[in-house]
Chain A
Amino acid sequence: MKKILSKMPDALARLLVVFAALAILGAFVVIVLIPKDMKDVKIQWADAIKAEQAKPVLYAGFHACGECHERIYEKKKTGYHRDLSCETCHGPAYAHTQDPDEVKPVIPKERAFCPLCHAYNPSRPRGFPQINPAAHNPLKACASCHNPHDPKPPTTPKECSACHGEIARMKAVSHHVQLECTTCHQAPQQHKISPRSVKPTKPQNREFCGKCHARDAKDRMANNAPRIDLANHGEKYVCWQCHYPHSPEVE
């Protein structure tokens, strides 16, 4: 070792010392001076997650409103707008939950607001209630006819055909033309207000059709009805698997 050092030119030895010093300085800067969170990406990420989680919440969420506005909350629960969050219309309300007197959420009353969802637009899914804002009771506020917390059409349909036109037109040219819809379906009054949640009844078994179409049928309507033997006519199936009741075939 000594031999190597003594053999080394003086200039090179000094240079080595300078390099060594630089290396030590560099290591000192990297290991001691630069803070750990600047080197370790994991620490940065943990900090970023904390910063993200600390951001303020503006929308309070669906259940916050019900704690105070119980009456409206209960009313809304049964109507078409039941799945609608209060803040969809009234805007972010977290500040209101913290200080109910100072901060009031908006109440959108202008006619331009409801058509954001309910204006006719051919791209909207079929069946979604849509109106033409220009022609639909112009100049009247939406809320003067429809309660936004429990909206429904001002008049409920009286005839089944108002909604079930296709079935009504088919039945009108079929052998069942004389039958009322209510002969086979019991439609509760509520069905006209909430057609999707309250459904009319449907016949459940073969004996129902048999009231007119069985050999020994005694129903008043059954005079000219085609008769079958319930015991051996397609016994495995219910009637409407082969015969469409709104337009039963001739044979």
Chain B
Amino acid sequence: MNGRRKFLRDVRAFLVSISAIGGVLKLLPAKAFAREASRKGKWYGFGVSVDKCIGCARCMEACKTENDVPREPFYFRTWVERYIIRKDGETVVKAIESNAEAAPDTSGDRSILRSFFVPKLCNQCADPPCVQVCPVGATFQTGDGVVLVNVKTCVGCRYCIQACPYGARYLHPETHTADKCTFCYHRISRDLLPACVEVCPTQARIFGDVNSGSSPLTRFRRMNKIHVLKPALNTEPKVYYASLDGEVR
């Protein structure tokens, strides 16, 4: 009698643990497959050639105009940082003003080792932390790899703004919802370039489909040595930087 009861209990324990392990194993590849699947077809990415950026801020202007971003120099979907690296190793990073005249003159400063401009925007991560933390499912990734915010369901809790390692999001002061770069989704759906790419005078910004063999982005990624921002976070950014300095975070 005792032996039969023990046998039945063992069988139950075995079945429960097998199904639990099976469930985990089934979940893991399912997630990986889901991501692979979405990478087929259009999968938008962005290229930034740091060596070409002249810091004219035309991209910031065009972005604000096209996307109705508040004019105050606090809200940006894309911005340009000026890096100044001094001989003693100190690095000063400052977002430039859209009026370049206001920039301090550093031409006589002999303590500067090198300086350059780095354009920044939402990295449209393939594995976006902002999407993971949204409690109401208001921010999501489209099938072509662009992370969008649904203003109708966003409750303005700012979790995504905190979660973004690149500081690419802000709370819109009028709608009180999270706002971010959309790669100008309304433009790219009509086969136009994002506004910042359109106006960049030196072609420092490149837009295209990662999966297309002939897109300008593919050519950019073939011809340059490419790096992404904060690769250790495994967010798989889709904004690819050429000639990126090691000091850039």
Contacts and interface: CB of A to CB of B under 8 A. Distances in A.
Interface of A: 41, 44-45, 47-49, 51-59, 61-62, 81, 83-85, 87-88, 91-92, 112, 115-117, 119-125, 128
Contact of A117 (B54, B116, B193): B54
7 contacts: A45-B142, A57-B187, A83-B201, A83-B203, A85-B199, A123-B116, A124-B55
B159 to A, nearest CB: 16
Interface string B82-101: 11100000000000000011
B140 A61 contact: no
A87 B103 CA distance: 24
Interface stretch (B150-158, B209-217, B219-227): B150-158
A84 B100 contact: no
Nearest to A124: B54
A84 B201 contact: yes
Contacts of B202: 83, 128
Dominant secondary structure at the A interface = loop
B100 A44 contact: no
B10 interface: no
Contact of B115 (A51, A85, A122): A122
Listed from nearest, the 5 A-B pairs whose CB atoms lie closest are A48-B150, A55-B186, A123-B115, A41-B137, A88-B199
A53 B115 contact: no
Given A116-B58, A124-B55, A128-B54, 15 more contacts: A45-B137, A53-B185, A53-B190, A61-B198, A83-B201, A88-B62, A116-B56, A117-B58, A119-B101, A121-B103, A122-B115, A123-B83, A123-B115, A123-B116, A125-B116
A112 B99 CA distance: 10
A52 B54 contact: no
Contacts of A57: 66, 186-187, 190, 192
A95 B54 CA distance: 29
Given A44-B150, A45-B150, A123 B193 contact: no
A48 B192 contact: no
B152 A48 contact: yes
B198 A62 contact: yes
B48 interface: no
A52 B186 contact: yes
Contacts of A91: 65
B172 interface: no
B51 A45 contact: no
A123 B82 contact: yes
A121 B109 CA distance: 12
A55 B67 CA distance: 9
B39 interface: no
B195 A44 contact: no
Nearest to A63: B192
A122 B150 CA distance: 42
A92 B189 contact: no
Contacts of A62: 193, 198
Nearest to B100: A116
Contacts of B193: 61-62
Given A59-B199, A121-B103, A52 B182 contact: yes
Given A88-B201, A122-B106, A123-B84, A116 B186 contact: no
A47 B201 contact: no
B185 A116 contact: no
Nearest to B108: A122
A59 B66 contact: yes
A122 B57 CA distance: 16
Nearest to A40: B137
A52 B115 contact: no
A45 B53 CA distance: 35
A29 B221 CA distance: 53
Contact of B195 (A47, A59, A115, A122): A59
A84 B103 CA distance: 23
B112 A122 contact: yes
B117 interface: yes
A87 B198 contact: yes
A87 B199 contact: yes
B107 interface: yes
Contacts of A58: 65-66, 195
A83 B201 CA distance: 7
Interface in B170-190: 182, 185-187, 189-190
Interface string B129-166: 00000000110101000001111110000000000000
